[in-house]
């Protein structure tokens, strides 16, 4: 029994509560935080979730079953976006004060999120981890870019701990004072390596179930939003389909652009070879059915789906807007979004004869095991609790 355990049994009856910002719908950050939570000793450290929309969400029952509360700071009734940002500060303040929140784990996309962190501090929060999951603005408007530039210098005044899902994500969000002092760390987007490990029997089962036994399956998983660049992905696949009559595109995800992308597939004449699967609760099996993973995103921090794909033994073709830190196995290529779709198609088709194998050892050595990630998170918040 280490000193944490001894101190815990002597002094504590309830777990350390950490308020996490994450929508409880389908999404990479949410899945990661729930995955971490499921690997914590929740008698010592557990999460509650702060959400910004008052609605029923797909994963709220799951976190409730793990002992979490869903706390809502919604200003959805306000139609003017800048005004929503300002009024949300007070909503977050009230939630944190009423629930006596001391520790906040803020999953941030940009420095514009500092306004939300300010609300938490005004509500009595004593310790803030800011966790960067993004490495660019992509299609974000001028307002977000301007607010981020103005607020970035205030991050050290409001936050105590600085994590990035990649070094690139950290450098995007944190000010120079944090970066130059090395006062940040990369927290790998850990996954359950055993669960995603390549399995030939599961591959055959899923390809039969999906009717893809003799197909070359190009796969992608990601929310249908501008960031994921599905419109260019379809352009690429049109060239793949033209060059290989066995090729099929298998898409997982939901979002506001699903219908526009279905319409585009029809216009391109490839609708019969594109499967819009939607959300899946068995993604670890779905990766097995693929032959190559394609991700031409406009920007990413370090995509969990890219880690999952490699854990499943897949080769990957990424946009060079994505940090090369994501290439864990050495079977990834990075292409400019300025390259023609045909160039991308050729890189994808180069993997037609690729031999899959287990990559579990490589990912474990690189620190991508979820238990390692959960242990790092737990250790931090137990230490913080002792100090508070």
Secondary structure letter of residue 191 according to DSSP: B
Residue pair 95/50 in contact (Cβ under 8 Å)? The answer is yes
pLDDT at 215: 98
pLDDT at 279: 86
Residue pair 205/279 in contact (Cβ under 8 Å)? The answer is no
| Average predicted confidence (pLDDT) for the chain | 93
Phi, psi of 334 (to 5 degrees): -125, 130
Q: Which residues, 6 or more positions from 209, have their beta carbon under 8 angstroms from its beta carbon?
A: none
Give residue 160's pLDDT band: very low, low, confident or very high (50, 70, 90). Answer: very high
Q: What is the pLDDT of residues 24-47, one digit of tens each?
A: 987 778 888 999 999 999 999 999
28/307 Cα distance (integer angstroms): 11
Alpha-carbon separation of residue 236 from 75, 119, 194, 232, 344 (angstroms): 40, 44, 32, 6, 6
Sign of the dihedral through C-alpha 172, 166, 27, 69: negative
Give residue 139's pLDDT band: very low, low, confident or very high (50, 70, 90). Answer: low
Averaged pLDDT, 340-352: 98
Averaged pLDDT, 289-318: 95
pLDDT at 140: 66
pLDDT at 7: 52
pLDDT at 134: 85
196/348 Cα distance (integer angstroms): 22
Sequence length of the chain is 388
Strands 127-132 and 103-108: what pairing? parallel
Question: For 3-190+369-387, CATH number?
Answer: 3.40.50.2000
pLDDT at 8: 47
Q: Partners of 294 in the beta sheet?
A: 317
Q: What is the pLDDT of residues 56-96, one digit of tens each?
A: 988 999 999 999 999 999 999 998 888 998 999 999 999 99
Domain extents in the chain: 3-190+369-387, 193-365
Per cent of the chain over pLDDT 90 is 84
Residue pair 158/117 in contact (Cβ under 8 Å)? The answer is yes
Higher-confidence position of 147 and 125: 125
Selected from 1.10.10.60, 3.40.50.2000, 3.90.1150.10, 3.40.50.150, the CATH number assigned to the domain covering 193-365 reads 3.40.50.2000
Q: Residue 246: pLDDT above 70?
A: yes
pLDDT at 12: 52
Residue whose pair of structure tokens reads 């890189």 in the numeric block: 347
Per cent of the chain over pLDDT 70 is 96
């Amino acid at each position: 029994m280490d000193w944490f355990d001894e101190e815990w049994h002597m002094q504590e009856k309830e777990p350390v509560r950490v308020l996490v910002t994450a929508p409880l719908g389908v999404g990479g950050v949410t899945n990661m935080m729930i995955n971490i939570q499921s690997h914590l000793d929740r008698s010592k450290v557990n999460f509650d979730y702060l959400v910004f929309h008052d609605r029923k969400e797909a994963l709220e029952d799951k976190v409730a079953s793990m002992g979490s509360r869903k706390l809502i700071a919604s200003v959805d009734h306000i139609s003017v976006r800048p005004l929503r940002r300002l009024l949300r500060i007070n909503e977050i303040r009230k939630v944190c004060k009423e629930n006596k929140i001391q520790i906040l784990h803020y999953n941030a996309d940009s420095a514009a999120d500092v306004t939300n962190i300010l609300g938490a501090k005004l509500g009595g929060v004593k310790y803030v981890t800011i966790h960067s999951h993004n490495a660019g603005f992509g299609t974000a408007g001028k307002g977000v870019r301007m607010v981020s530039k103005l607020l970035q210098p205030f991050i050290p005044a409001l936050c105590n701990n600085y994590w990035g899902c990649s070094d690139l994500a950290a450098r995007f969000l944190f000010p120079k004072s944090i970066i130059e002092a090395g006062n940040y760390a990369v927290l790998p987007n850990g996954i359950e390596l055993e669960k995603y490990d390549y399995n030939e029997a599961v591959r055959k089962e899923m390809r039969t179930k999906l009717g893809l036994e003799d197909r070359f399956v190009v796969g992608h998983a990601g929310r249908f939003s501008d960031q994921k660049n599905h419109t260019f992905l379809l352009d690429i696949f049109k060239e793949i389909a033209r060059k290989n009559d066995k090729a099929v595109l298998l898409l997982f995800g939901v979002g506001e652009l699903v219908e526009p992308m279905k319409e585009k597939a029809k216009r391109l004449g490839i609708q019969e070879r594109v499967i819009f699967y939607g959300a899946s609760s068995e993604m670890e099996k779905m990766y097995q059915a693929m032959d190559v993973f394609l991700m031409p995103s406009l920007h990413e921090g370090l995509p969990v789906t890219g880690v999952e794909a490699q854990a499943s033994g897949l080769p990957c073709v990424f946009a060079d807007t994505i940090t090369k830190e994501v290439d864990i196995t050495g079977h990834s290529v990075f292409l400019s979004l300025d390259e023609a779709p045909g160039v991308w198609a050729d890189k994808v088709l180069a993997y037609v004869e690729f031999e899959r194998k287990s990559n579990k050892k490589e990912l474990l050595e690189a620190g991508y095991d979820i238990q390692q990630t959960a242990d790092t998170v737990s250790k931090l918040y137990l230490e913080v609790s002792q100090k508070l």
